Structure 1
């Protein structure tokens, strides 16, 4: 509800002075209010991403200390999808122990994977050799028996 009183205030967004008719007014214009709203939303989204990242990092640290891992925990530890771990299990790359319906992977076996893997060496890119021989269109016509009309001469 508006009143007849005039209060000098400073805009929280742009910093310019303005006359407010309510004590709760914080911004000098609708534009400043909209920009501040967008910034608040952006900051809340950044905070939620930061919390999610910290949660993931704490999950990795927790998993790193365990001796036996589930396939999902092993996937978190290695930073791959859990289906990748199941594919490794099916291919026999990773040894597992099954206790009824529980599948466990020993942490030492995951560490041993990196001992047996070969390190790929990066090779230098091949430099293409420039083409030095060219045929003229007349030489191609003579060599393959082609006329200018595109029909073969027999």
Structure 2
């Protein structure tokens, strides 16, 4: 029932009280399908560049920032503090994928260690 009105069905397959109610339910169902489809398309469009970046052997500072969802200045600070190893090629800093993954693992381990030490029973 779309309109929430009680009705007596003539057949066991009747789902709606009237043709109007059936049309409204159909439109609502199609609207929901369009929303789901549009959401899936948007996710695919957004995730395509990330998948491409993850497949690279070397990343620029901007690309690393995009992958982490932080600003490039955050990546620059990590480089300056020695937490993220880079190579300098023709005046540009590039980050090897291995170094980037190691940085992520270290960050995860540090945050996980502080969270478990804060848990009190």
Same structural fold, with TM-score higher than 0.5 when normalized by the shorter chain: yes
Picking from 35, 38, 42, the partner of 1:45 is: 35
**What is the number of residues matched between the two proteins?**
99
TM-score normalised by L of structure 1: 0.47
Structure 1 unaligned residues grouped into runs of 5+: 1-13, 19-27, 127-154
Cα distance in 2 between the residues matched to 1:49 and 1:103:
36
Structure 2 unaligned residues grouped into runs of 5+: 1-13
Query: Which one has the bigger helix percentage?
Result: 2
**What do you get for the CA RMSD once the two structures are aligned?**
3.3
Cα distance in 2 between the residues matched to 1:108 and 1:90:
19
Picking from 69, 79, 92, the partner of 1:81 is: 69
The superposition leaves residues 64-100 of structure 1 with CA deviations (integer Å, 9 ceiling, x where unpaired) of 22112133432444xx3231x4313134233454756
Q: Relative contact order (alpha carbons < 8 A, sep ≥ 6): 1 or 2 greater?
A: 2
Cα distance in 2 between the residues matched to 1:99 and 1:41:
53
Q: Say whether residues 1:106 and 2:106 are aligned partners.
A: no
Within a 5 Å distance, the mapping from 1:33-72 to structure 2 comes to 33-72=23-62
TM-score normalised by L of structure 2: 0.56
Larger radius of gyration: 1
